């Protein structure tokens, strides 16, 4: 299988390279070659490829910055995926795209299903939703993977931030009224490779799929699990605070747990336990420290 991957330097792009199945030929483009602020240039790379699958692992993920940098966020999260999906459809190449729990408003208490009403609270979620719709409108074979709370040993993420702050401070205030499913980038990468391989075998199912870690936890609960799994000699105390106590430019969904039954039915992909994945990430971080 030959795969064309956009976004090689981010958390997911790195893990896609690390977890690629044996025999996979990876054509990976980073920002220096495939700048998603120029959608048609990215589409041209797709039009020129002979890959069996195109995977878009790139995105504008600065949630708060998107509130003022709307044009860039829309170009990267909506226009670029649409252009790449149209080019993929023209070549009859399956297009795999990663989206977010932020397409929902976070109301309710049960995990969100793929066909639940979408109502993003901010620019980031709105641009990611526009990207989903552009991919579907392209008319080609596709899989859109909504995920949440991505973490890894690379880049910027909550796990690395907590470990850094935990080594410096005795107490940490962490939001306790936002709940979701932490998801390891490596787990997302493996799910994408399973989907890609299924499409390559002629059995792929197009649509939107949810894939996030379980069990549901708050940010404060996640922080406590991070420190419990770490070997920090002195663990900071977590002070559980409300969202109101930690204001941000962009609103976050209060409840963003995702129902992952559809991806299990279509691809046999089980919902991952983030606790096991967290332990692996922390071991990697501590081994490289």
Catalytic residue numbers? 124
CB contact set of 111 (below 8 Å; sequence gap of 6+): 210, 216, 257, 258, 259, 260
Phi, psi of 81 (to 5 degrees): -60, -40
The Cα–Cα gap between 135 and 225 comes to 36
The Cα–Cα gap between 157 and 245 comes to 21
- Which has the closest alpha carbon to 78: 113, 119, 124? 124
The Cα–Cα gap between 198 and 118 comes to 28
DSSP track, 270-289: PPPBHHHHHHHHHHHHHHH-
Whether residue 246 contacts residue 100, with contact meaning beta carbons closer than 8 Å, is answered with no
- Which has the closest alpha carbon to 185: 40, 30, 43, 9? 9
Which parts of the chain fold into alpha helices (H)?
A: 11-19, 39-47, 70-74, 80-90, 123-137, 158-166, 185-200, 219-229, 261-267, 274-288
| Beta bridge mates, 95 | 54, 142
């Amino acid at each position: 299988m030959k795969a064309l991957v956009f976004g090689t330097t981010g958390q997911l792009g790195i893990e896609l390279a690390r977890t690629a199945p044996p025999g996979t030929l990876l054509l990976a483009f980073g920002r220096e070659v495939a700048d998603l602020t120029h959608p048609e240039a990215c589409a041209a790379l797709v039009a020129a490829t002979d890959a069996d699958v195109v995977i878009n692992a790139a995105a504008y993920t600065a949630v708060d910055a998107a509130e003022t940098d709307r044009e860039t966020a829309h170009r990267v999260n909506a226009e670029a995926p649409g252009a790449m999906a149209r080019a993929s459809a023209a070549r009859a190449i399956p297009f795999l795209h990663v989206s977010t729990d932020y397409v929902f408003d976070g109301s309710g208490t049960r995990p969100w299903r793929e066909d639940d009403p979408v109502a993003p609270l901010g620019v980031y979620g709105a641009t990611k939703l526009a990207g989903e719709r552009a991919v579907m409108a392209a008319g080609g074979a596709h899989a859109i993977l909504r995920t949440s709370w991505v973490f890894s040993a690379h880049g910027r993420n909550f796990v690395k931030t907590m470990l850094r702050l935990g080594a410096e401070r005795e107490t940490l205030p962490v939001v306790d009224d936002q709940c979701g499913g932490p998801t390891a980038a490596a787990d997302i990468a493996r799910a994408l490779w399973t989907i890609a391989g299924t499409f390559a075998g002629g059995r792929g199912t197009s649509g939107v799929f949810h894939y996030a870690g379980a069990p549901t936890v708050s940010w404060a609960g996640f922080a406590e699990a991070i420190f419990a799994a770490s070997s920090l000699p002195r663990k900071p105390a977590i002070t559980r605070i409300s969202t109101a106590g930690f204001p941000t430019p962009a609103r976050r969904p209060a409840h963003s747990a995702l129902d992952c039954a559809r991806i299990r039915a279509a691809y046999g992909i089980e919902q991952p336990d983030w606790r096991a994945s967290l332990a692996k990430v922390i071991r990697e971080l501590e081994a490289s420290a």
